[in-house]
Amino acid sequence: MLKSPNIASKNRLWVFYIFVLFVHLLLIGRFFKIQIIDNEIYLKRAKSNYVRALSTPAPRGLILDRNGKIIVDNYPTYIVYGIDAEIKNKNQNYSIISKATGIDTLTLINNYKNYFRSRFLPTKIAKDLTIEQLSQLEENKNNLSGIIYEQFPERIYHPMVKATHVLGYLKEIDKEMINNSQTNQYSFGDLAGWSGIEKKYENKLRGQKGVSYYQVDAYGREAGEVDGYDNILPQPGQNINTTLDIDLQLLVEEIYANKKGAAIVSIPNTGEILAYVSSPDYNPSLFTGMVSSKEWQEIVSDPDRPLLNRAANGLYPPASIFKMVVAIELLEKKLVNKSWSVVCTGEYEFYDRVHKCWDKNGHGTVNIESAIAQSCDVFFYEAIQKVRLDELEKRSKEFLHGVPTNIDLPSEMKGRVPNRKYMNKLYGRYGWSTGAMLNIAIGQGEILVTPIQMMAYINLLANKGNVKNLHLVTPNLLSINNNVSISDDTWKIIHNSMRKVIYDTKGTGKLSNPKINNVNVYGKTGTAENPHGETHAWYVGYANRGEATVSVVILVENGGGGGSVASPIARKIFKKYYSKNNPKIANNQ
Amino acid sequence: MIASLTKSIKSSPFGLIIIIFGILIIGLTSLYSVAEIKADDASNAFLRQLIFLIPALILMMLFSIVPKKIVHEYVYILYILITLSVVIPFFGAKVADTYRWINIGLPFSLQPSEISKLVIVLTLARYLSDRSIQLDNFTSNFIPFMIAFIPAIIVLNQPDLGTALVMMSPVIPMLYWVGARPFHLFLLIAPALSILTAFDVMVFTIWTIIMALIIFLSKPQLWNGISIFFSNIFLGLVFPLFWNSFLRPYHRNRILTAINPELDPLGSGYQVIQSKTALGSGGFFGKGWGAGTQTQLKFLPVQESDFIVSVIGEELGFISILIMLLLFMYLVLRILNLAFNATDRFSGLVLVGIATIFLAHIFVNCSMASGMIPVKGLPLPFVSYGGSFLLSSFIMIGIVINFSKEEIY
């Protein structure tokens, strides 16, 4: 039937023509709509498809010592992020990253869960990767999906010097900090200073993050830079020049390696702190990494409290180093004079109670100078009865007991100096008597101070009442106390007494004498009673050679006697300071 | 042999060949751009497409001289063979989750369903040209429908909805070409519409009203009209029941995602979004050859086959799309024109069927890439990468050249 005629009608052919025309016009219209009318929408969408903005971290400022030596530096590490929307196989990613970094998969999964904020934002998976680990990941690039890396300058600390409590540590900021930050500088997962200088000078150290634009392909892999987008370079943070002296700091840290307590070295003329140690401490790099809760628990529950900054936040009775305050009050109020004396038999009977002198053999006849030099308690038991508690409180505060030093650290304790009101409140109106004063006279009992306050106190004594704010970087502008004016005679007696502490044959601080020509040492030891165990050993003092003055505060917790334990430490510091032969540097500051 | 070949080339509609080469160049240009990304891949789409062109052109020439008589004679046997071969892939391995391919030991696989489109057209043409009747009788409409429907339903099960639709597409145009009554064609489409509208009461109600009007206006015999009307309503009422109670959930999902890929936003939905983004960001002149970000950064999936039109749109712009569509329109219109002028009914019908298949491919591919209809994977003739379809397209052109000329023996 091949010969059957073609019977198509012209009309029906036109129906076909019109239909074909219609279909093509429909398609052309559709393409016109998408490509011409909606062009801008899709252009934008295309860009957001392949342009990714990544913030580039700003290197934090370095922390230097007074001579420009680096204490805290940065070194490059890498952070691995995952972008949820682009990840095709999570488990494969984890196993590759785990292989390359040695971090177990479970930790990676947990990290991812913790940092996850949005399907389209990079979520941190692992950090602190070395370049070698990164290159291992790069080799597996084709099996990874939605994984990006970011270089991150990580803190690295001086190999020897720790200065942990001065420097502080960095930790990832929390929600509260993001909300409180006015500058909007932080984003989740950023590191910020959490204590010490890192916190105090956070704004200076931090710098400003930059933005870099990358072109990425459909698998989230970087495919070069994008035209028309200029990267914003990060602004590195400013370096911080501290007043610390690496050598002195190192010496003190070595001494305190097996001790608990605090030690501070400063220059009284300027208030600069040369060394600052609180022991025990912790490893600051522990916090920058992802802290495991186990490690954290270990630090927090350590009975030695390594997180406690003892120098600024530890409260101790000042013990005998308080005696200068009592002496000044006695002399200034003319309650005793230079020759007023007491016979010490080793104990002192007060009503029905016997108060002991630290030396049960007694000191014999002592006046105010020898009482300080030998730290005779009986002299002060007797003399204190002439003093009114509220007057003593005033004097103590004048000499910076129980007064914050305003040192440039994020926190410090205020301490406590008792007055009548306080005692009444504590013991009731008739619950305490002058007997309590006897305890206070030798710096025991209700009075509590911090080592850093004692530093301010000893500097004040060294400067004859001219107060310079203690500082690690820059002095706080709000001065704590402008000037203390007491008579020259009193100063003379006090300085003489403190000198005798070192040079008298019976002086309790003899062991602090470095025996260097032209170096004169003034000091006072203290042995604080501790209801929980061995006494705390104190030594406060300063040395000068001409104008070059250096002051120290030594506290050894449960160390024993101030004379036998704390004084030799002071000697080592004085020796180091003057053997460094750097009086000029000290002066010029 | 050689004499007949030169003769056929001389008498062949040259315009057609030029048009096709124009379309081919647009396709190859884009394939080259896509292939450039995969520079390390030796067997890239561009090169393979070039290599496939050689057998394609040879096949076109061969089919342009195959005696029409032989084709006419053995078409039914061919139909049975090809219908069976569509079943064969079910015994082969799954490629990309479907059974479309036969592995014949060559470095490429063959897709029998591509050839079966042409065979369906030939078979329909044979059947319809054998009858001198004006197709007054509805049953003579129904058999052609079944000729296409049997292989189509097999392909649909593979699952390849696009190809199944293309297989069905020539039925109504070819019936219409030979003078079928529009009412009968309506009766063919009505059950499908009854089923589709049954899922929404409102739409179903409107549909029944329209159906009643059409039946009333066509004035069939009373009982016929009533039974047609009610059997359609019955179908519409029963189908949702069947859908909900007899099909397992995964069956339902499979059918639903085949109809609407947007239900699978991470799969085909993603493709459509990226395709529209690529197209839309191209603008009038495009981003330049090889400079399409969506293409080059591989946001655009299946770019060398199903979404090649998006590559063209992004890199070469709306202007190129427009030129390409105008070329396609000319191609289809020209084939229809040749069909009208063909010497016999069989040839005319074959050409109409081929024109329909091309048109279906163009429409489905372009409207899918531009997000107008949600159907999966159909290649664009002469443009998309794909050996089987390129071969079958050129075979069809060969047939067009062959059947549009005067009988020479």
What pLDDT, on the 0 to 100 scale, is given for residue A367?
93
> Which pLDDT value is given to residue B106?
47
Considering only the beta carbons, identify the residue of B274, B281, B343 that sits closest to A43.
Answer: B281
pLDDT at A79: 86
ipTM over 0.90? The verdict is no
| Same domain, yes or no: A209 and A317 | no
CB A399 within 8 A of CB A484: yes
**Do B271 and B235 share a structural domain?**
no
Q: Which of A187, A218, A241 is the last residue of a domain?
A: A241
Across the interface, do A8 and B178 touch by the CB < 8 Å criterion?
A: yes
Please give, rounded to a whole number of angstroms, the shortest distance from the CA of A56 to a CA of chain B.
Answer: 24
Taking the Cβ of residue A32 and every Cβ of chain B, the question of whether any pair is shorter than 8 Å is answered with yes
pLDDT at B282: 86
Confidence of residue B36 (pLDDT cuts 50, 70, 90): low
* B390-399 average pLDDT score: 92
Q: From residue B331, how far is each of A354, B8, B177, B381 by CA, in Å?
A: 123, 19, 19, 11
Assess whether B84 and B174 both reside in one domain: yes
Residue A248 located in a structural domain: no
- Domain presence at residue A544: yes
> Which pLDDT tens digit goes with each residue over B308-340?
898 899 889 999 999 999 999 999 999 998 898
Instruction: Tell me which residue range forms the domain holding A176.
Output: 52-241
Q: A468-487 as b/e, with b when 16 or more CB fall inside 10 Å?
A: bbbbbbebeeeebeeebebe
DSSP string computed for A239-266: PEE-S--HHHHHHHHHHGGG--EEEEEE
What is the C-alpha to C-alpha distance for residues A449 and A451, in angstroms, rounded to an integer? 7
CB contact under 8 A, A31 and B339: no
Residues A532 and A451 in one domain: yes
Q: What was the pLDDT predicted at B107?
A: 45
**CA atoms B223, B225, B226, B228: torsion sign:** positive
Report how many domains make up chain A.
2
Alpha-carbon Rg for chain B in angstroms: 22
Residues 6+ apart with CB under 8 A from A354: A347, A348
Domain span at B285: 261-302+313-333+369-377
Separation of alpha carbons B359 and B355, rounded Å? 6
Per-residue pLDDT of chain A (589 residues; tens, 9 = 90+): 566 777 778 888 999 999 999 999 999 999 999 999 988 888 887 777 666 667 778 889 999 999 989 999 888 888 888 887 778 788 888 888 888 888 888 888 888 888 777 666 678 888 888 888 888 888 888 888 888 887 888 888 888 888 888 888 888 777 777 777 665 667 777 888 888 899 889 888 988 888 777 776 666 666 666 666 677 788 889 999 999 999 999 999 999 999 999 999 999 988 999 999 998 888 877 776 556 667 778 888 888 888 899 999 999 999 999 999 999 999 999 999 999 999 999 989 888 888 889 888 989 999 999 999 999 999 999 999 999 999 999 999 999 999 998 898 888 999 999 998 999 888 888 878 778 888 899 999 889 999 999 999 999 999 988 888 899 998 766 555 557 889 999 999 999 999 999 999 989 999 999 888 889 999 999 999 888 888 999 999 999 998 889 999 999 999 888 889 999 999 999 999 998 755 444 443 3
CA distances from A1 to A410, B129, B133 (A): 104, 7, 13
Q: What is the CATH number of the domain that holds A457?
A: 3.40.710.10
Residue B31 lies in a domain: no
Does the beta-carbon distance from B313 to A35 stay under 8 Å?
Answer: yes
Distance CA A407, CA A271 (A): 9
**Predicted pLDDT at A184:** 61
Q: CA-to-CA distance for B100 and B53, rounded, in angstroms? A: 22
B336 and A16 in contact by Cβ < 8 A? yes
In A, minimum Cα distance to B343 occurs at A6
Domain boundary among A241, A262, A283: A241
Residues B145 and B81 both lie in one domain? yes
Q: Provide the CATH number for the domain around residue A165.
A: 3.90.1310.10
State residue B23's pLDDT score.
94
Residue A135 belongs to some domain of the structure: yes
Per-residue pLDDT tens digits for B201-219: 788 888 888 888 888 887 7
Gap from A158 CA to chain B (nearest CA, Å): 45
Q: Does A17 touch chain B (CB under 8 A)?
A: yes
**Domain-embedded: residue A382:** yes
- Has residue B253 got a pLDDT over 70? no
Number of domains within chain B:
3
Residues of A in contact with B283 (CB under 8 A): 35-36, 39, 43
Q: B158 vs A19, which has greater pLDDT?
A: A19
Q: Which of A7, A10, A218 sits opposite B178 (nearest CB)?
A: A7
Of B144, B179, B214, which residue is a domain's last? Answer: B179
Nearest-angstrom CA–CA distance, B221 and B208: 19
In the predicted structure, residue B105 carries a pLDDT above the cut 50: no
Kindly determine whether residue B367 and residue A31, on different chains, have CB atoms separated by under 8 Å: no
* pLDDT value at residue A311: 93
Are B278 and B295 in contact by the 8 Å Cβ rule? The answer is yes
For residue A171, the cross-strand partners are A192
Residues B163 and B104 reside in one and the same domain: yes
Which pLDDT tens digit goes with each residue over B53-86? 999 999 999 998 888 888 888 999 989 988 887 7
Instruction: Report the percentage of chain B scoring pLDDT > 90.
Output: 22
| Final residue belonging to a domain, choices A241, A270, A297 | A241
pLDDT for position A211:
78
